[in-house]
Amino acid sequence: MHHYPDLKLFIGGAWKTADGEPVLNPADDSVLGTVPHATRADLDGALAAAQNGFKAWSRLAPAQRAETLGKAAQILRSRADDLAVVMTLEQGKPVAQARQEVMRTADMIEWEAQEGRRLYGRVIPSEPGMRHTVLRQPIGVVAAFSPWNFPTASPGRKVAAALSAGCSIILKASEETPASAFELVRAFEEAGVPAGVVNLVFGNPAEISEYLIPHPTIRVITLTGSVAVGKRLTALAGEYMKPAIMELGGHAPVIVCDDVDAVASGTLAALGKSRNAGQVCTSPTRFYVEDAVYEPFIAAMAEKAMSLKVGNGLDPDTDIGPLANARRVAAIEELVADARQKGARLLAGGERLGTKGNFYPLTVLADVPDDARAMREEPFGPLALVSRVRSIDEAIEKANSLPFGLAGYGFTNSARKANQLYEELEVGNLAINHFVPSIPETPFGGVKDSGIGREGGEEGLHGYTVVKNISHLMS
Ligand code: NAD
C-alpha cells in the first residue's frame, strides 16, 4: 500500500483539517483520502494572513527570497520518488512522467527564484537636475487557481513566480489532485517561507473564486484551466479592475511538410500525443500532413500508437495511464463517435479499456473532416486527428481557423517553410521538429481564446509586478 497524505488546508502558517469530499484513484476508482473544503472564515483567514505575509516578504532582499525558494526546490528534488507516486495515485500519469514533473517543478522554482534578482527597472535620460526612474514593485496578494493535469508544476510555477517577485499568494489547487499541491506547499513551508506568504485552500471552485477575486486584498488573478472558466474569471477580474493571467485551452496544430522523414515524424507524433494521455493544453492534436508524406506518416503513427502500453501508472512498463477523471473518457468517446460518423478513418485505439478506472488507448483518426466536432473542440485526451493537405498555405489557414492559439508545431527541414510558420502561425509557442514547446527560461502562454499573459521567462515574472515611474526634481 502506498502512502497518500492526510490532506489539510494551509492558512497563516498553520495546517487545518476540515470536512470535504473524497479523492478518487483514476486507475481503480478507489478512495484515496478526503480533500478538505475551506469555509468563508478560512478564506478570510487566508486573506488576512496573505496581507500580513506580503508586508514582511516584499521587504526582504530578492537574494534572500531566492535562497528560501531554492531550498524548496531542493526539498522537492530529494522527495521526487515519493511525490511521483502520490501524483500517479491521484492523477494517473505514468510514474516516470510524474517524477519528471517534480524535477521540472524544482527547475522552474529555481529559475524563477533567481530571475527575481533581475527584476530591473530603468533610468530614463532627461534634463539636468531631473531623474526619471522606473521601478518594478511586487503587485501584492495573488489569487491562484491551478488544474489537475500538472498538479505539481502548474501551482509550483505560480507560487514560485509570485514569491520571487515579492508577492504572497492564496492557492486554490485542484480538488481532484490535492495531495500534489499539499506536498508542494509543505516544501515551501519547510524551506522557511514565513507564515502567511503561501496559503493553500480547496473547496467549491466557483464559490472560492467569486469570493476572492472581488476582495480588495487580492491584486492579481492567475488561472490555468479551461477557456470557459478563464473567460468567467477574467470578466469578474475586469469588473474589479484587476489584472488576470490566463493559461487556457489549446488545440495545437502540427504541420508536417513533405520534406521530412515521414516515418520518424509519425513515430514521434504518437509519442508526443501520448504524454500525460493527451491531457495537456499544448498536446499536439490536429495533424495537417502534406500529401506526399501522408500515408507513411499515418502508418508509422498508428503503429507506434498501438505499441504503447496502457495501464496503471505505477507499473513501470506503462506508457499511458488512466485518464484523470471519468469526464474525459465520456468526452473522448463522444468525439470519436462523431468523427467516425462524419467519415474519419480509425487507425488505432477507439474504445475504452475495461470497466474499472478510466483507461482509454491512444487513438489515431485519419481523413478527419473539418466539420468533425473534435477538430474544433479541445479533446484534452489521447486523440490524434490527421488530415491531408495540399500545401503549407492550406495547412496554416486551417491551423489558424480556430479561436485557440496556444502551442503549434511544424516539421520541416526547409528554412523557407519554417520561416513561414514563424511568421504566420497564430500561437504563443511554436516548436519546430520537436514537441517541447517551453522550458523554464522561455515565456509560455497563448493568443486569442488561449489566454492572456505569460508564465515563465522574464515576461512571466512581470505579471506579478506593477510599474512605478518616479520623476525627481533634484535642483
Ligand atoms: P472545468 O472547466 O470544469 O475545470 C477546469 C479547472 O478549473 C478545474 O481545476 C476546476 O477546479 C477549475 N474551475 C472550474 N470552475 C471554476 C471557477 N468558477 N472558478 C475557479 N476555478 C474553477 O473542466 P475539467 O473537466 O476539470 O477539465 C476539462 C477542460 O479543462 C479541458 O477540456 C481543458 O480545456 C481544460 N483544462 C485546461 C488545462 C490547461 O492546462 N490549460 C488544464 C486542465 C483543464
CA angle 96, 305, 357 (to 5 degrees): 60
- The verdict on the CB of residue 34 being under 6 Å from ligand 1 is no
From 153, 163, 154, 73, select the one nearest 117 (Cα to Cα).
163
Query: 226 C-alpha vs ligand 1 centroid, how far in Å?
Result: 5
What's the CA gap between 246 and 154, in Å, rounded? 12
Is residue 167 part of the annotated active site? The answer reads no
Q: Note the pLDDT tens digit of each residue in 177-216.
A: 999 999 999 999 999 999 999 999 999 999 999 999 999 9
**Same-domain check for residues 156 and 228:** yes
**Same-domain check for residues 305 and 207:** no
Would you say residue 2 lies in a domain?
A: no
**Same-domain check for residues 403 and 453:** no
Which residue in the block uniquely carries the three cell numbers 472564515? 41
Query: In the predicted model, is pLDDT for residue 327 greater than 90?
Result: yes
**Same-domain check for residues 321 and 454:** no
- Burial label, 126 (beta-carbon count in 10 A; 0-12, 13-18, 19+): exposed
**Same-domain check for residues 92 and 203:** yes
- The verdict on the CB of residue 174 being under 6 Å from ligand 1 is yes
Question: What are the angstrom distances between the C-alpha of 39 and each of 9, 36, 42, 56, 335?
Answer: 11, 10, 5, 26, 38
Q: Note the pLDDT tens digit of each residue in 367-386.
A: 999 999 999 999 999 999 99
- The verdict on the CB of residue 327 being under 6 Å from ligand 1 is yes
Residue 475: its pLDDT value, please? 77
At 424, the pLDDT band (50, 70, 90 cuts) reads very high
C-alpha cell recorded at residue 188: 515551501
**Same-domain check for residues 326 and 222:** no
- Number of domains observed in the structure of the chain: 2
Supply φ then ψ for residue 317, to 5 degrees.
-85, -5
Which residue in the block uniquely carries the three cell numbers 492550406? 394
Would you say residue 398 lies in a domain?
A: yes
- The verdict on the CB of residue 225 being under 6 Å from ligand 1 is yes
Query: 469 C-alpha vs ligand 1 centroid, how far in Å?
Result: 37
What's the CA gap between 264 and 256, in Å, rounded? 11
Q: Note the pLDDT tens digit of each residue in 267-285.
A: 999 999 999 999 999 999 9
Would you say residue 346 lies in a domain?
A: yes
Contact between 141 and 50 (Cβ < 8 Å): yes
Query: 111 C-alpha vs ligand 1 centroid, how far in Å?
Result: 27
Residue 313: its pLDDT value, please? 98
Candidate of 177, 226, 406 to mutate for ligand 1, largest count of ligand atoms within 8 Å of Cβ: 226
Residue 2: its pLDDT value, please? 80
What's the CA gap between 460 and 179, in Å, rounded? 26
For the sheet containing 383-389, what is the strand order? 345-348, 363-366, 383-389, 284-290, 252-256, 407-411, 429-432
What's the CA gap between 68 and 224, in Å, rounded? 25
Would you say residue 50 lies in a domain?
A: yes
Would you say residue 4 lies in a domain?
A: no
From 468, 384, 440, 401, select the one nearest 112 (Cα to Cα).
440
Query: 372 C-alpha vs ligand 1 centroid, how far in Å?
Result: 23
Candidate of 23, 146, 149, 229 to mutate for ligand 1, largest count of ligand atoms within 8 Å of Cβ: 229
Domain span at 361? 252-439
Largest CA distance in the chain: 80
Residue 256: its pLDDT value, please? 98
Write the ipTM.
0.94
**Dihedral sign from CA coordinates of 344, 348, 352, 358:** negative
Contact between 324 and 381 (Cβ < 8 Å): no
**Same-domain check for residues 268 and 228:** no
**Same-domain check for residues 132 and 88:** yes
Query: 224 C-alpha vs ligand 1 centroid, how far in Å?
Result: 7
Would you say residue 134 lies in a domain?
A: yes
Would you say residue 61 lies in a domain?
A: yes
Rounded to the nearest integer, the mean pLDDT of the chain is: 98
Atom of ligand 1 at shortest range from CA of 327: 25
Is residue 394 part of the annotated active site? The answer reads no
What's the CA gap between 91 and 32, in Å, rounded? 11
Query: In the predicted model, is pLDDT for residue 345 greater than 70?
Result: yes
What's the CA gap between 304 and 263, in Å, rounded? 10
What's the CA gap between 98 and 94, in Å, rounded? 6
- Burial label, 60 (beta-carbon count in 10 A; 0-12, 13-18, 19+): middle
- The residue nearest atom 7 of ligand 1, judged by CA position, is 225
Contact between 346 and 383 (Cβ < 8 Å): no
Query: In the predicted model, is pLDDT for residue 1 greater than 70?
Result: no
- The verdict on the CB of residue 36 being under 6 Å from ligand 1 is no
Q: Which of 247, 290, 378, 426 is catalytic?
A: 247
The pLDDT of 53-60, averaged and rounded, is 98
**Same-domain check for residues 93 and 195:** yes
- The verdict on the CB of residue 247 being under 6 Å from ligand 1 is yes
Contact between 180 and 86 (Cβ < 8 Å): yes
**Same-domain check for residues 192 and 269:** no
Counting residues of the chain whose pLDDT is more than 70, the rounded percentage is: 100
Query: 63 C-alpha vs ligand 1 centroid, how far in Å?
Result: 35
Q: Which of 110, 281, 290, 378 is catalytic?
A: 281
**Same-domain check for residues 91 and 223:** yes
The pLDDT of 142-170, averaged and rounded, is 98
Would you say residue 444 lies in a domain?
A: no
Residue 466: its pLDDT value, please? 98
- Burial label, 285 (beta-carbon count in 10 A; 0-12, 13-18, 19+): buried
**Same-domain check for residues 29 and 162:** yes
CATH number for the domain that contains residue 346: 3.40.309.10
- The residue nearest atom 33 of ligand 1, judged by CA position, is 226
The pTM of the full predicted model, rounded to 2 decimals, is: 0.98
CATH number for the domain that contains residue 202: 3.40.605.10
Counting residues of the chain whose pLDDT is more than 90, the rounded percentage is: 99
